[in-house]
Amino acid sequence: MTLKLSYPSEYIALVTLNRPEKLNAMNRVMYKEIKETFESLDKNLDIRCIVVTGNEKAFCAGMDLQDFYSYRVQDAARGAFIAQDDIKSLQDCITVIETCKKPVIAAVSGFCLGAGVDLMTACCIRLCTKSTLVSIKEIDLGITADLGVLQRLPKIVGNGSWIKEIIYTGRNVKAEECLRRGLVSTVYDKYEGMLQAALTLAEEIATKSPVAVLGSKKNLNFSRDHSVKEALDFVVQWNSWALQSSDVEKAVKGFLTKEKVRFPKL
């Protein structure tokens, strides 16, 4: 197995990339297992928040180049058809993190290269350690990054000049620069402290109404990709049914009485 799946506390799933001998480089088995795992967690009514991590030395060192193969076959057209299907399939293995109904927190330490950056930018929240080194390495392999970082990073970080600089050069970006540019929300001294902070944050999110959390993620993603007017119309339709949830009454009562509320499964 290229992933470890555990449940450190109620409502929380911890997904750990598990190819330490390869610095968690992603082979095709790992891509497939990521897709299957997040599809399963998406449907799991007992899970309300997910943390994804690697280890202290490496979050993910990119795609395992030993798993890379050429699309140059008998002619260009046939090679293009094969490449299109393959790239789309790999894209889906990353996009499933973004489309998962549950919030996903990336706990990043050490190397985060290439496909690792695709993965972390598909997550809702990103934390890292001081040892984190981020690099979009595809430029050094003679290819264009194609699994989501070119599409998602500009929506996360508002500085287009900086984004193009690090993509065109493939240079290493250290943790403090990631924080300054807004790629991560917090930098921690040690891996253990960061992972515990990610799990604590996940537990806090899990105490909220699962209907409200799902709605917030869905509307944030929709708003990112649409105009303000379209997003306002979307949330009107969304809340026309979501406001009828029993969670609203429970939440308001808890807010007024200062009592802890336990919300039912989604």
Judge whether residue 95 has pLDDT over 80. Answer: yes
Could you give phi then psi for residue 206, rounded to 5 degrees?
-70, -15
Listed in sequence order, the DSSP H helices in 159-209 are: 160-169, 175-181, 191-206
Predicted pLDDT at 71: 67
Torsion of CA 33, 36, 42, 45, to 10 degrees: -100
- pLDDT beyond 80 at 86: yes
Q: Give mean pLDDT, residues 41-57.
A: 98
pLDDT single digits (tens) 221-236 = 999 999 999 999 999 9
pLDDT for the residue numbered 68: 73
pLDDT at 80: 86
Identify whether the C-beta of residue 214 lies closer than 8 Å to the C-beta of residue 220. Answer: no
What is the percent of the chain where pLDDT is above 70?
98
DSSP-assigned letter for residue 91: H
Question: Residues 57-76: what's their mean pLDDT?
Answer: 83
How many C-alpha atoms does 160 have within 13 Å on its Cβ side? 1
pLDDT, position 81: 86
Region 12-23 average pLDDT: 97
Three-state DSSP class for residue 49: strand
**Total-model pTM:** 0.95
Q: What is the pLDDT of residue 69?
A: 65
Tokens for 101, please give them: 């109904």
The structure tokens 């598909």 sit at 122
Say what the pLDDT of residue 189 is. Answer: 98
Q: What is the dihedral of CA 18, 157, 154, 148, to 10 degrees?
A: 10
CA 79 to chain centre: 30
Domains for the chain: give ranges and CATH numbers. 3-206 (3.90.226.10), 210-257 (1.10.12.10)
Confidence of residue 204 (pLDDT cuts 50, 70, 90): very high
4: tokens are 């470890």
**pLDDT for residue 70:** 66
Residue 105: which region, alpha, beta or left (left: phi > 0; alpha: psi -120 to 50)?
Answer: beta
Instruction: Decide if pLDDT at 77 tops 90.
Output: no
Mean pLDDT (the chain, rounded)? 95
Strands 104-108 and 133-135, bridge-based pairing: unpaired
Q: Is the pLDDT confidence value at 126 over 90?
A: yes
For 141-157, the pLDDT digits (tens) are 999 999 999 999 999 99
Asked whether the beta carbons of 19 and 2 are under 8 A apart, the reply is yes
Asked if residue 81 lies in contact with residue 88, where contact means CB atoms within 8 angstroms, the answer is no
